[in-house]
Structure formats: structure tokens, C-alpha cells
Chain A
């Protein structure tokens, strides 16, 4: 396999297997999923090791995959010394944690989900360190936040897990957004998102005016991820996660992503005043607060979490110092901290597992029960404290050496070494406490079971990690030396300093500082012993400055106060203000062209036709009348609206649009019937009901505003319509259609040819919408029942019913034939209307007509039958299946379009030819006719479905006894 493909495999494998793992049933999951996850980690580790020789030679492996080439984005996999070290940690420690988790998790838990998420996280983390592209890095960065959220919330039935997960996600996710912005800024400055290009542009970045905002955003991203002050509070809360997650994510890998980023970008961003001050002192404050708080924890994992915060602060401080040697120490400490902290978390998990508690007050004297675990934990804790001959000592010595350097600034000169020693002193205190409180002393009395050693394989990961701590601590040059050198060289290049990893440097200042910290820490522990035994849970002096509480308050402020306030201010659920805003905006948008200069069309009344003018006088009166009557006299308003519609119809017919006139008048009819059907369920509104005086003033004001808006909108429309219609028509595509309607489309009626041929695709969309709307109304009416009828039966009908009741006739039998003659005529009209609609359909291609028009015509034929005979009468005799019509219509249209594909033409290409029929002679036959047939069938189905569905409601209400039981869905056809 080519070396370039190996990083791709390394990155892809965890994600692929994560997906597979997700589907392993819980019964096998504990072993199968663990084995899968373990193999992935091990294979990954093997790949990483395999790639080492190429990296050690000083090379950077690059592998590019096209991603969004149009945007200049390629997926770049990049592996150099630094990312190699991280990849080794991610896969190596990942394997150990999988092994540990196999025994830690209970068999009845959703273990498959755990390992799937775990692998997903591993992939995301590898993605960060393998990214050769800043955008890609941010994506994986956010992915780690999401997987971390899911893993912390693994035991999602606990509120603490949910809260901790949410807090971690919000903090690190926000940081990720800041980082994304920072990367965009860097991309803007450098002109490329490629990391190698960015790393070559340090000078440009540091001297750019956007350097400071970019730096701050990068730091927000890195500090949130690495739990630096003031964002450190999420990490202790994340301890609600299962211990393997804490061991992996919150000590060895994810929290290291922040410092990885700082190390990665340090060649281009470090060394400036803001970097040195902000990064160094943020790290220093975090170091001190973390170490100080760790001393006063009651929870084993809480102690380790604060200790992690403080160690991350140490690393950040070193990176902030911007000297090559400090960077060496930082990288070295990243590796060391990962080994001893992961093993300590695992030890804490074993203690929790075997005793059922992590509370210092209940734990005591466990050494006699679990000597192996006790010994391992002691060694790891010693490494954490910085005891000689262990790896933690070496990097801490280097840290001391850096802080002890003479600095020109007196503040820096004093604060750095002082805080370093103080924090290390605290570190010794909490390390001693971790061992002494748990393993030493009298046997525990508050446990509900007798603890014992865990399974050997559960201990093995700790053994391996502790062995590493020892080996690195004793013979650093032979173990980590070359790898550290490779990592540091990949960052610093030619600036790589010469340093010595020897254990013994003689009696120098760092050794003195170490000694003070060690001795002072043990003394402090003895002094605090009694105080701590009382079970304090928050550090003195700063305990009330609890990060989570501030965070929760902030969150509450944002979500429960600010968001509703903004919603009240900017949003409304009421329709009227929304529409008013819309109309207002439309008016403003319409007025914008006037800013360019006044438009003054010459007013002329040339060609004024008195007939059409009269039509429009009537039309206008109807429109205004409808506006006035719509509140109290709905039927009147409907009739008046029809009047305005008729004026529109006349106008279409007058000005050469016969198709439009036909369509409009038919739609007019159908719409009127439809609304008439609905009128009975609207509530009564009485004109002389007294109106509340308090609200009437507001209402009057609103009406005045609406009146002005309506006036302005109407005047504006009139003005623009006039200006447009009196200006010269521009050259448009119409000419093309007129020229080619016959040549290409085979039809004389250009409007129809456009609809079914040139713009057939649009029409296909239109009829689809029509079908969907019809089905929606049908579905809505199946579900909802209209209100009870608003009006009693008319007086005549009541008198008649009483009369019939008195004569013991069936109700309505005497006057059942009151519309007999019109009904017969309507029935006889049915075939005529069918023929008419076929006629209109067939001639559509050459003369006014077509699918839409014919379809509505036919549906009015159906409606007439309903009007004449009543719903029951029709349905006893005629089974209309409108849904079937809709479906077949759409299918016919689609198949006609698809037929063109058979002849290697694009979808909906039409063809036509002349056919010699006996008796008829030559007739044109266009495939568009079949398409139009689909339109016809669908329009019939849709219109009939809507009308019939509504008409049916009257049956359901008129005879309540015939209704199906409440809740059952009545069939509406």
C-alpha cells in the first residue's frame, strides 16, 4: 500500500467501524464492540508506528483529496512530527482505554453505543491532528465537541451527566465557533487555508492589522477546549462521564487539542506582546487555581479534573513564553501528563468500581485490599507530583528552569517562579492526599462491600502506562528522546534548541524549586489533614466564585430573559402586524425606484372606450363594496367579489387573452361555489353589538393606519401599472415563442404551446402543487370537523317540518321536489358539459382551450350534479375517485415527459407530426397533447376533490346521528 494512502486509512477506519459498531446488538456488544474498537485502535497505532521512519527523516506526509475545488478547498491529510506524537497518543492510549472500558462497563449497558461514540471521537481527534487545512481542522474540532457531549451524557438518565454534557458542549462549541472565525480571518490574511502555506506566512500574520482579533479568537477556541481560565469550569462537570471517557477525553486527548492548536500556530503567532502576556498569564492563573482547587476536592475524579486543569495551565504557560526551550518542555509535558493522568483516572475508576464510591470521606486504607492497584496509583501520583525518576519530574524541572530565567520585567521575574513553585507545592499536596487518604490509614468503615483487586486485564492498561512513566523518568533519552526531538523539530525547524533530557543536572535552581515544592507540599498536607477530613468540597477564599453557577446564570439570562425580550420586541405571532409589516415593506420597496428620479408618465385618455370604462366603474364599485361588506355581510361580499372578477374576465377577453378569460370565469364559478359551501360554518357577526370603548380607540387608530396603507398601496399599484402600460414594450422572448410555436411546437395557440411545450416543466410543477393542495385539503377535512352550523334552519323549513311531523310524513318529503325542473336540466347538461370539455381540450393546442380550462369545465359538470341531486343522490349513482384522477394525471404527464428520454432527448421534449386519418384528413398530433391530457385529468381530480371534500362536511353535520363514533375517521370521498 502506498504510504500516502495510510493516513487516509488511519482517519477513515474509526468512523467506518463506528458506524458498524452502532448496529451490534447489546447481547454481544460487550465483547464484539470492544474487540472491534480495540482492533481499530491497535491497527491505527500500528499504522502510526509504520509511518514513523518517514516522519523521523524530517518529512511531512501530505495527501490531498479534492473536496470543494471551486472554493479552493481540498481535504489535506498532513502528518509531521508533532501530529505524529499526538496520533500515537490517540491510538495508543485509545487502545488501552478500550481494554479498560471492556471491564469497566456493565454488560447490560448500551455498550455498543459507547464504543461507537468512542471510535467516532477517536476519528475526530485524529482528524484534528491530521488536518492540513484550517477549515477541515475546525470541522473535526467541532466533531470532538459533539462526541464529547454524547460521551459525557452516556449515562443520560442522570441529571448531572446531562448538565455536564450540555455545559461542555456549549463552552467548547462556542469556542469552536470563535476558532472558525479565527480560521476565516487567517485565511483572509494569508489567502489560503492550507496549514503549510499559513505556517510560511508568520510575518504577514503578525504584522497584519487583524492580528489581535485573530489571536483573541484563536485563544478563545484553544482556551475553551483546554479548560483554561476563565473557561475551566466545564471540565470538573464533565466528570459525570464514565471513567474511561474521562481518562481518554479529559486528560489525554480532547483537552490537549487546545494546546495542540497553540503549539501548531506558535511559529506564526507567538512571540508578540499580546501572545506572551495573555497566553503566559492565562496559563499561570489556570495553573494556580487548578492546583489550589484540586487540594480541596471531595471527589476522586474532581481532584483529578482540577489537577488536569492545572497541568494544562502549566503547558499553556510554557507555550506562552515563546522560547524554543519552553516549547520543548510544553510538548514533553503534554506526553507525560497524558500517561500519568490517564493511568490515575483509570485507577480512580477501579476504586469507584470496586468500592462503589469516589468520596474521600468514605475511602480509607484500601492498600490492604488492592495492593497492585495501590502501588500503580502511587507511582502515577508521584509522577503527577513531580518526584524524581518519574516522567513528570523531568518536564516540571524544565518548566522550573524556564520560569527561573532572569526577566527584564520585574513583575514577570518574580511572579513566574513564585507561582510555579506555589502551584507545584499544591500539586504535591493533592497527589499525597490522593494516595494517603485512599490507600493508607485504617480500613474503610462506610463501604457496603469488601473491595478487592479488579480483573487483571483491567489493570493491564495502568501497568503499561505506569511502566512508561518509569521508563521515561529513568532513561528519557532512550525512550521518548527521539520522538520528542522529531515533534519539536517539526514545529521549530532550524530554531530547535539543544537540550538535555538527563535526569541529573546537578544542584541547580530548578532542583531547589522542586525540593521546596516537595517538602512544602507534604508539610501543607499534614497541616490541612484535619481540615480536609471534615469533608470540605470547595476551596476556601475562591469557593464562592463558582464558574458553573455564573455560567448557568448567564445561560438563564440569555435563554429565559433576553430571548423572550427580543421576541417580544421583534417578533409577533399575530397575523395582522406581520401582514402590515409585509405591506409596509412592499410599499417602501415600491418607492425605491422613485428615489432615482420622478417618473412622470403623460396622462392621456386616448382610446377611452365607454363600455369598458363602465365595466371598470362597476368592477371598482364591486371591489370597494366587497371590502366594506366582508365583515357583516359575507354573502354580499362574495357576490361583489364575483363582480370584480367579472370585470377582470372582460378585460382579459377585451385585450386579446381568450384563454385567460375562459380560465378566469371558470375559476370564478368554482371559487364561488367553494366559498359558498364554507359560509355556513362561520360565526354570526351582528352589526349592532356594542364595542368596548377602551379597545375601540386603538381599533380606530389601527383602522386609520390600515386605510392609509391600503390607499397608498392601491395608488402605488395604479401609478406603476399606468407608467408601465404606457411605456414602450421591451424586446422580450415573446417573439421567439410566436415565431416557433408552430414550427417547433406544432400548435397555433401560442399560450397553450408555451404551457405544455416550451415551459412544460413549469406546468408540471404547477399541477404537482395543485395535486398536493387538493390532497392537503382532503386530509385536513378528514381530521377536522367544522364548527356547528351558525344559522338555524330557515323559518319556512321549520314550519314545513312541523307540518310534516303533525301529518306523520317523513321530514322533507312533501317539498322534496322543489327544484325538480332545474335539477332535471342540470342532469341533462352533464353529457353536454362532458362533450364541451373534451372539445375545449382537443382544440386547446390551436384555439383557446386546453387542459386547465377543459379540466375545470368538467369539474363544474360534476359539481352541477351535486347541486342538482344532493351528495347522497350523486354518490349512489356515480363513483368518482378524485384521488385516482390526480394520481393518473400526474403519471400521464410524467410518463409523456419521460418518453422523450427513450429517444435520447431531454425530459419533456415534445414531438409532433401529421397523421392521415380516413374521413378526418390530415390532423396534427403532438406529444404535448398527451401531456396536456395529464394536466386535464389532474385538474379535474383536484378541483372535484376539494369541492366534494368540503360538500361532504354538510352531510356529516346535518345528520349527527349518522356520524361515526368520536375519534373514528370518517371516510370522505
Chain B
């Protein structure tokens, strides 16, 4: 199953990279979102993939019975910060569009 997830990460990252290299701000914002999905999944994958082992202690099972909580908490904050980044970028994008009249990433058509 790892192969499928890995390919999924690859496709997300590839699409994201393609988009952040495009000249339009909207493309870049979508690209960044896709790229953060890929990166979040990658970090999440560092804890290895395990089903039915959520790190919620039941007081009985051994420590090894749970999935790794550290990448999960890292990714959780990354998701929230990712949202903040998207919001900020969107506002900058709109301000730039309002000021320069273009949605080119450099603020002028080339």
C-alpha cells in the first residue's frame, strides 16, 4: 500500500511544483496548497503507515501498539500554519492585483 501513497505524494508534489513555476498568482496559490499536501503526507509517512492504531491511550496496550504521535503533531500544526500562509498569500495576491492591475507574480506582464 505504501507504493500507492508514495505515488500519490509524487503526483501531488509534481502538480504543485509545476504550478508554483507558473506566472499567475492563482496558479501559485493552488500549487502551494498541493505541495503542502504532499509535504504533510511525507512527514506523516515518517511515522510509517499503520491502520487501527491511533495514538489514543487505552491504558492496556503496549507502547508499540500505537502509531507514532510525533509526526502527527508536527503535521497538525503544519496544516494550521499552511492555512495561515494561504490566507496571507491570497490577501497579498489580491492587493497586488488591485494595485498593479495584473495577476502576474511579478506585478507586471512580461
Interface residues of chain A, those whose CB is within 8 Å of chain B, are 573-576, 579-580, 583, 603-609, 612-613, 616, 619-620, 623-624, 626-627, 630-631, 634, 637-638, 641, 644-645, 647-648, 651-652, 654-660, 663-664, 667, 670-671, 674-675, 678, 681-683, 685, 706-707, 709-711, 713-722, 724-726, 729, 732-735, 737-739, 741-742, 748-751, 754-755, 759, 762-763, 766, 769-770, 773-774, 776-777, 780-781, 783-787, 846-848, 852, 856, 939, 942-943, 946, 949-950, 953
Contact = CB atoms under 8 A, between A and B. Distances in A.
Contacts of B52: 656
Most chain A Cβ neighbours within 10 Å, of B37, B91, B101 = B91
A738 B69 contact: yes
7 contacts: A682-B26, A706-B17, A706-B22, A714-B10, A754-B73, A770-B80, A773-B85
B2 A575 contact: no
A402 B23 CA distance: 75
Contacts of B4: 608, 612-613, 616
Nearest 3 A/B pairs, CB to CB? A714-B14, A718-B10, A722-B6
A718 B9 contact: yes
B94 A784 contact: yes
A742 B60 CA distance: 12
A60 B59 CA distance: 74
Contacts of B85: 773
Contacts of B69: 734, 737-738, 741, 750-751, 754
Contacts of A770: 80-81, 84
A717 B47 contact: no
Interface string B90-110: 111111011101110110001
Contact of A718 (B6, B34, B92): B6
A950 B91 contact: yes
Nearest to A709: B17
A583 B37 contact: no
B82 A631 contact: no
A724 B5 CA distance: 12
Given A644-B34, A780-B91, A725 B14 contact: no
A745 to B, nearest CB: 10
B73 A781 contact: no
Contacts of A783: 95
Contacts of A759: 73
Given A717-B38, A722-B2, A738 B57 contact: yes
Contact of B53 (A606, A656, A706): A656
A817 B31 CA distance: 38
Contacts of A786: 94-95, 97-98
Q: Binding site of A, secondary structure by majority: helix, strand, loop or mixed?
A: helix
Interface of B: 1-31, 33-34, 37-38, 40-42, 44-59, 63, 66-70, 72-73, 75-77, 79-88, 90-95, 97-99, 101-103, 105-106, 110
Nearest to A680: B94
Given A718-B6, A719-B6, A773-B84, A846 B56 contact: yes
A692 to B, nearest CB: 11
A573 B90 CA distance: 20
A630 B30 contact: yes
Nearest to B99: A784
Given A576-B23, A605-B3, A738-B69, A769 B10 contact: no
Contacts of B84: 769-770, 773-774, 942, 946
A421 to B, nearest CB: 69
Nearest to B8: A616
Contacts of B82: 667
Contacts of B93: 678
A651 B5 contact: yes
A574 B33 CA distance: 21
Given A575-B106, A738-B69, A674 B86 contact: yes
A729 B71 CA distance: 12
A962 B75 CA distance: 44
B17 A713 contact: yes
Contacts of A943: 83
B88 A616 contact: no
B5 A616 contact: yes
A656 B17 contact: no
Contacts of A720: 42
B2 to A, nearest CB: 4
A657 B3 contact: no
A754 B31 CA distance: 30
Contact of A657 (B8, B54, B91, B102): B54
A751 B72 contact: yes
Given A655-B51, A766-B77, A770-B80, A626 B15 contact: yes
Nearest to A601: B2
A207 B66 CA distance: 68
A660 B17 contact: no
A781 to B, nearest CB: 6
B17 A724 contact: no
Given A623-B12, A678-B94, A773 B87 contact: yes
Nearest to B70: A734
A717 to B, nearest CB: 4
B18 A707 contact: yes
Contact of A660 (B33, B44, B57, B98): B44
